[in-house]
Structure 1
């Protein structure tokens, strides 16, 4: 075996171990919150010794930062795929489908995102990046509103975007609390219906089509 192959294998093992530790941290953060979680609890969840954990992360904050940055990067990708110029040309019900569905899917797949990002004691670096992402998302929503109602003032667009996002966040909590399957699907449909009924007056067209059920 060449010397070049050995480092690659060690690197691959290290990446698998990091992924294992991050998944364990996500599980524990979801169960107990960031503040109540300890590195020992993460190590137990990952079925490794605390010494092994410290080979990769010096403390809980470092784990949270790595996990948070990975989640934020994935969320940015979801936003980028949803808010595209092509999607702006869709009718409002279809636009809601392509924007809301990936955001809900992301949060359902990563419940730790809300637990970590909205914790009171999360590392400042994560909070700052999350705030920047939140501001970017609001800007994207304002762009959608401006597309449908260009006559609105900046103040009106800002207010409507804030309300739209508040509706989404409230609905998302109910969706995440609903059991997977028919109940969660029904909750998703209700959220889209509420958003559609709120935003449809901006298009100047009568509400005749509801989002996909």
Structure 2
């Protein structure tokens, strides 16, 4: 009986931390990093600022913990997106869908991720963690391009990968902001744009 209480207390603490991080992520999506205060996070989480400070000393610490959680999930999304077989022989449209769908799913599930990891006001220590992961995406797209078009010089393949990633980044915000049929239509447009761009370069 004496051991159950600390276990329950620990579970309560973990649940409270998750609630704080969820509240922060939602607010970062709505107001950006700079426009979000710890008081607003506490209010959204349904706790007092004093209770919040029992878990996090400041907003930077919240962002740091949140970025760790998001990056773990983003790695999983990237693994699903780039777990590809028969890259050289598969239709471009199919490859595009297999890459885009997990990335869209991650960003839709975490609409504040882009605001947190890409906001200029976010501490460099937080945004810096995501840079190697974003660079790895470009590297993986480069590898796909090279597998499809081995005749392309490496600089051309890298440039093609860069443009591909930028197209996805440009449309991801509107996709996340949309809903229902509008979101589905934008995802289709994104896939069509990527397929149209990559087909003449890689076939």
TM-score range, shorter chain: over 0.9
Counterparts of 1:166-177 in structure 2 under 5 Å?
166-177=166-177
Counterparts of 1:133-172 in structure 2 under 5 Å?
133-172=133-172
- The equivalent of 2:41 in structure 1 is 42
Distance of 1:134 and 1:71 partners within structure 2: 13
- Preserved contact between residue 116 and residue 122 of structure 1 (Cα < 8 Å): yes
- The equivalent of 1:32 in structure 2 is 31
TM-score scaled to structure 1, two decimals? 0.90
C-alpha spacing 1:34/1:81, structure 2 compared with 1 (3 Å): same
- Preserved contact between residue 87 and residue 95 of structure 1 (Cα < 8 Å): no
Counterpart check, 1:54 vs 2:16: no
Distance of 1:79 and 1:189 partners within structure 2: 20
C-alpha spacing 1:62/1:144, structure 2 compared with 1 (3 Å): same
- Preserved contact between residue 68 and residue 116 of structure 1 (Cα < 8 Å): yes
TM-score scaled to structure 2, two decimals? 0.94
Counterpart check, 1:94 vs 2:77: no
- The equivalent of 1:186 in structure 2 is 185
1:90 Cα shift?
3.1
- Preserved contact between residue 87 and residue 98 of structure 1 (Cα < 8 Å): no
- The equivalent of 2:195 in structure 1 is 196
Distance of 2:201 and 2:34 partners within structure 1: 43
C-alpha spacing 1:200/1:83, structure 2 compared with 1 (3 Å): same
1:185 Cα shift?
0.6
Measured against aligned partners, the alpha-carbon deviations of 1:138-193 in whole angstroms (never above 9, x if no partner) come to: 00100110110112111001110111111111121221232x11111111101100
Bigger shift: residues 51-60 or 78-87: 78-87
Counterpart check, 1:109 vs 2:121: no
Structure 1 unaligned regions, length at least 5: 205-213
- 3-state SS in 2 of match to 1:36: coil
Bigger shift: residues 56-65 or 146-155: 146-155
- The equivalent of 1:207 in structure 2 is none
Distance of 2:34 and 2:202 partners within structure 1: 45
